[in-house]
Amino acid sequence: MMGLTEPLHRAAYSTPHKPATIFGERTRSWAEFKDRAARLAAGLKSNGVNAGDPIAILGLNSDRYLEYYYAVWWLGAVVVPMNIRWSVAENAYSLNDSGAKVMFIDAQFSPLIPQIKAEAKGLTTLIYLDDEKCPEGLLDFEALIANNAPMEDARKSGEDLAGIFYTGGTTGFPKGVLIPHRALWFNGLSLAKLIETSEETKYLHAAPMFHLADGAASLATTAVGGTHVIIPMFTPDGVLTAIGANKITHSLLVPTMIGMLVQSQSYTPDHLSSLTHLIYGGSPIPEGILRQLIRELPWVGLINAYGQTEMAPVISALAPKHHVLDGPHADRFKSVGQVAPGVEIRIVDENGKDVPRGEVGEIVARSPGSMQGYHNKPEQTKKTLDNGWIKTGDGARMDEDGFLFIVDRVKDMVITGGENVFSAEVENAVSTFPGVMQVAVIGIPDEQWGEAVHAIIVTQGGVTLDSEAITAHCRNQLANYKLPRSFEFKAEPLPLSGAGKVLKRELRKPHWGGHEKGVS
């Protein structure tokens, strides 16, 4: 019970002929999908993989990526999805840390194989995900399926380890988050409610499939026997085309993707006419873009999903009905919504005591989604996890009606003249100024104040906006000490992590003599 293959059995039993996956021209039914997962599991077993073994993957999105997940679980083994934005060094660290001997890899990443093998000496077996001729020395994905009879489902469940998800690569060494079956199982069911999936759902995988943001929405699709439509990676045109061609009902996009989408040349709201639900999360969404979505897409249920990998990942969600710009509750759309059913949170001060309602503290959270700990990191586990309660590192306040407002990553703030300035608050204010496409606020060294508030703004063509006008605009919303003291205008998008978060570390480096300050 609470095993991740259960929804697959349910879908294959109830609706065997219904499409499970659509990838380009290729459509596979739930019966085929189950059969392929059971054969691929047998193929892994015949190559010496056992239940409990970690099995990595490095690739762009594909239907085979989803088959990898379910085949590994069918075998009773452990998924280890690699971050496609990370350096070889970071992924090699993850491979060595997890102990994975087997890795799936696609055409995009196979040129890195020599480098990866040099750094991850434990790797013995590579499996090639793509259609082209399988490179020398690799096992062929389709051959493993064709040459092996379906095996019995190992039926792992509950506390059995389901995956090691590496996170935090932008802040130092990656941490392997240990996620048992019950944690992902819970998130699949929880998301099925929160994003309202049904057997008619066609979910578009455009966000990277290695990440649990897409992963949880994916589980919520399988839970109800919906259809997975998959594109290799996010591009504005790719998303618009896939939505039109497949009458997509649901997708999860990170805010930077949404920004790129609605600012693309091809975009008109009509392109999204089939969409019933758009889930956003992974990082704060600029208020300007959210207002645009609410105005332009009244038929789309917008859902802000907030969480983190350590919770596998959901903590709270803002339901479609709370995305309103007028009336007595017009502030709610700026929140991350209400605590998800099945989740408990508290907002605490540095001593772990509850803060008074409405005041800012750190969110600690607990649910059946809570991780078991960090792999090989007892110290960090001890600091983060206490009897199922996870210290999120996120600062937030809760209003009288239980709506949660994230102030910022507790540590992502500027300390100027002894005052704490949360970057997100300033970014929200700047983002609503006309012409601002993207903005990141960081602290830079200042002789007088220690740090000064600095805004890096992306504009069309990098044109310089009137910084005094921006300051005047922000003055309506922000205390004086929070106003940016300096501005930088750029044409190119800000550097992003694999999860779509702005890599503030990279932005800070030039100001701090190349040495790190803070985290992001």
Residues of this chain that interact with its own copies (CB under 8 A) are 1-2, 6-7, 9-10, 13-15, 17, 182, 185, 188-190, 192-193, 198-199, 223-225, 319, 338-339, 341-346, 366-368, 370, 388, 398, 400-402
CB of 199 to its own copies, least distance (A): 7
Residues 438 and 458 sit within 8 Å (Cβ to Cβ): yes
Specify the residue, 10 or 485, whose C-beta has the smaller distance to its own copies: 10
Alpha carbons 133 and 113: distance in angstroms, whole number: 16
CB of 193 to its own copies, least distance (A): 4
Specify the residue, 59 or 225, whose C-beta has the smaller distance to its own copies: 225
Specify the residue, 83 or 316, whose C-beta has the smaller distance to its own copies: 316
Specify the residue, 19 or 443, whose C-beta has the smaller distance to its own copies: 19
Alpha carbons 169 and 2: distance in angstroms, whole number: 30
Specify the residue, 286 or 307, whose C-beta has the smaller distance to its own copies: 307
Long-range contact list for 270-274, CB < 8 A, 24+ apart?
Answer: 271/240, 271/243, 271/244, 272/243, 272/297, 272/300, 273/299, 274/243, 274/244, 274/247, 274/248, 274/249
The alpha-carbon radius of gyration of the chain (Å, integer) is: 23
CB of 219 to its own copies, least distance (A): 10
CB of 77 to its own copies, least distance (A): 21
CB of 369 to its own copies, least distance (A): 9
Alpha helices in 76-223 (DSSP H): 88-98, 113-119, 141-146, 181-194, 212-223
Specify the residue, 197 or 309, whose C-beta has the smaller distance to its own copies: 197
CB of 339 to its own copies, least distance (A): 6
Alpha carbons 405 and 28: distance in angstroms, whole number: 41
Alpha carbons 279 and 302: distance in angstroms, whole number: 6
Tokens of 196: 């309202």
Specify the residue, 8 or 452, whose C-beta has the smaller distance to its own copies: 8
CB of 1 to its own copies, least distance (A): 5
Specify the residue, 1 or 149, whose C-beta has the smaller distance to its own copies: 1
Name, in order, each residue with C-beta under 8 angstroms of 346's C-beta and a sequence gap of 6 or more.
354, 363, 364, 389
Specify the residue, 401 or 466, whose C-beta has the smaller distance to its own copies: 401
Specify the residue, 166 or 389, whose C-beta has the smaller distance to its own copies: 389
Residues 213 and 281 sit within 8 Å (Cβ to Cβ): yes
Residues 177 and 165 sit within 8 Å (Cβ to Cβ): yes
CB of 359 to its own copies, least distance (A): 14
CB of 441 to its own copies, least distance (A): 30
Nearest CA-CA partner of 43 in 138, 143, 130, 126 = 143
Burial 17-53 (b: 16+ CB within 10 A, else e): eebbbbbeeeebbbbbbbbbbbbbbbbbbeeebeeeb
Specify the residue, 342 or 495, whose C-beta has the smaller distance to its own copies: 342
CB of 11 to its own copies, least distance (A): 9
Alpha carbons 117 and 466: distance in angstroms, whole number: 51
Nearest CA-CA partner of 59 in 170, 160, 143, 138 = 138
Task: Give burial (CB, 10 Å; 0-12/13-18/19+) of 284.
Answer: buried
Specify the residue, 365 or 439, whose C-beta has the smaller distance to its own copies: 365
Residues 22 and 227 sit within 8 Å (Cβ to Cβ): yes
Alpha carbons 440 and 458: distance in angstroms, whole number: 9
Specify the residue, 332 or 501, whose C-beta has the smaller distance to its own copies: 332
CB of 328 to its own copies, least distance (A): 15
Tokens of 313: 């990942």
Long-range contact list for 20-26, CB < 8 A, 24+ apart?
Answer: 20/227, 20/228, 21/63, 21/66, 21/67, 21/227, 21/228, 21/229, 21/230, 22/63, 22/202, 22/227, 22/228, 22/229, 22/230, 22/246, 23/62, 23/63, 23/229, 23/230, 23/231, 26/63
CB of 220 to its own copies, least distance (A): 9
| 3-state SS class at 338 | strand
| 3-state SS class at 147 | coil
CB of 159 to its own copies, least distance (A): 9
